Structure 1
Amino acid sequence: MTIVTRAQTLKIADIEPAKPNRALSTGHVKDLVESFGATAFASAVVVRPTSQSGEHAWTVVAGFHRVEAARNSGQAEVHAIVVENATDLQLELIQIDENILHWPLTEVQEARALARRKEIYQQLNPATKRGGDRRSNTRAGSLKSFAKATAAATGRSVTAINRAVARADNISESALKMVQGTPIETGSFLDRLAKVPVPEQEAFVANAMANPEPTNSGVDVQADLARLRRCWSQSCAEARKIFLAEIGGSLSEKKAADL
């Protein structure tokens, strides 16, 4: 089904209060409220027409925190992308992409999100599955693979996307739950865990938690890069411009000091 979208400025009062799948972060909402005084929205929220008649004309698809921050700050309107004619799977795909772009996901959360995105993408585009009959779909020749389509939508590299999906595919849900929110939740540890046979993964995690590696054992370069990309994607254009100027100035100073 082809999605129909349009940009529109909507009244906050016409948007249904947030009912996301997970609880809103009051701290994140507060940070957004404070940022509104200095910058405009970094990006528009995504809404759909409310399915039932009532007080509100619009329901939030993605951007729950931004809508509630605008509401709490007393703003009367918000910039939005209105989505019509979308299936539940298409709406879920939008939510996943928005979370990846605008929310600092942990390594486990990102693995789950990208694995679910792959599942949805391949349901919507069966010809992209490995072994799929591309001749049966007239659009197959123009379809991107899951990893390439996701890279274009989220700004992640194809390598990082495939790595995250492999973690979710090869690690049991029980082992992921054990790792999430602990000091061992790093990309490098998940990559090691993914190579352990599933029946042995919980014991492997328990042992790692009982015998943590020294803190100076090395940095997780891929995790640091992922955090940098998330911060960049969440920043407004003005903040990015200032940051690049600061980085350029620091590099010039270092070069001068080395002469």
Structure 2
Amino acid sequence: MKPTLMQQNRVKTAEVMGLLGRLRPVSEAGVESLIASIAETGVMKDAIHLRKKKDGRLYLVAGAHRLEAARRLGWEEIEAKVWTDVTDDWALLMEVDDNLAGAEMNALDTAVFLATRKEVYERLHPETKRGMAGAMARWNATEPSSVAFVKSTADKFGMTERQVYKIAAAGSSLDWDEVAQLRSAPRPVTLKDLGEIAKIGEPSERSGVVQRLATGEARSAAEARRAIKSGSLGPVMKTP
């Protein structure tokens, strides 16, 4: 059974469920940017996407920032596309693609979304996981992946295949607790930091690196690794 677009119409903002449990929290800067754009143009460019479940309720699939902006502006209704016959994986893939295509995301969120897209893509297309030889095996021989996923994602979002390999690998190396810690870091986590974390095979070392970045004791993942290996446990001196 394929997802069916049941309607494209205005729905009441108060009736939309599911802002919690998203892949990333709603960004204050993102919402404010949308509000400023709406004030200037008078319209919200894109509709939100909703999933109507058997209980009759409407659950958000894509458009958390748009929904939050509408609510803050006091809108009672918002333009929406309402889907039925939707699987959890289809809904998750739409959430991922909506963010990758339209949102300004930092390095950490990009890695998390690409890693999630890889996981969902392979569940939806299990036949693409065959064949770990060649470049993909060299990229990450410990985790089955899909050449088709990399090519599809690179084409869809204007990335090189090498970028997709590296960023998705970095996102796959983190669990949700570590992602939450890194989101609280005083210094934004870079793709270089995530690439360094992805190299770590020992969970205790990875946990230590994440903690140092989250508390600001280290300015980079490489610095945190050096401190751990040298046995230095004190805070790293910060330059003014």
Helix, strand or coil at the partner of 2:45: coil
State the partner residue of 1:189. 193
Cα deviation digits, residues 66-111 of structure 1 (max 9, x gap): 1232243244543333322211111111112223234433322322
Work out whether residues 17 and 68 of structure 1, in 8 Å CA contact, stay in contact via their aligned partners in 2: no
The CA distance in 2 between the partners of 1:28 and 1:184, in whole Å, is: 16
The CA distance in 2 between the partners of 1:96 and 1:194, in whole Å, is: 21
The CA distance in 2 between the partners of 1:59 and 1:197, in whole Å, is: 38
Helix, strand or coil at the partner of 2:108: helix
Amino acid paired to 2:202: V
Cα deviation digits, residues 173-223 of structure 1 (max 9, x gap): 67656544432611112223323332533455667764547xxxxxxxxxx
State the partner residue of 2:47. 44
Choose which of 164, 178, 189 in structure 2 pairs with 1:161. Answer: 164
Q: Which has the larger radius of gyration?
A: 1
Name stretches of at least 5 consecutive residues in structure 2 with no aligned partner: 133-145, 221-240
- 1:161-180 pair list within 5 angstroms: 161-170=164-173, 179-180=182-183
Cα deviation digits, residues 37-89 of structure 1 (max 9, x gap): 22232322111224324xxx633211122123224324454333332221111
Which of the pair has the greater relative contact order for Cα pairs under 8 Å at 6+ separation? 1
TM-score where L is the length of structure 1: 0.61
Change (3 A) 1:28 1:87: same
Change (3 A) 1:14 1:205: closer
- 1:224-235 pair list within 5 angstroms: none
State the partner residue of 1:33. 35
The CA distance in 2 between the partners of 1:114 and 1:96, in whole Å, is: 8
Helix, strand or coil at the partner of 2:200: coil
Change (3 A) 1:155 1:58: farther
Residue 156 of structure 1 and its aligned partner are, at CA, apart by 3.8
Helix, strand or coil at the partner of 1:131: coil
| RMSD (Å), alpha carbons | 3.5
- 1:1-259 pair list within 5 angstroms: 1-5=1-5, 8-12=8-12, 15-16=15-16, 19-22=19-22, 23-25=25-27, 28-39=30-41, 40-53=43-56, 58-75=58-75, 77-131=77-131, 145-170=148-173, 179-182=182-185, 183=187, 185-199=189-203, 200-203=205-208, 210=217, 212=219
Aligned pairs, how many?
A: 200
Matched-pair identity in % = 27
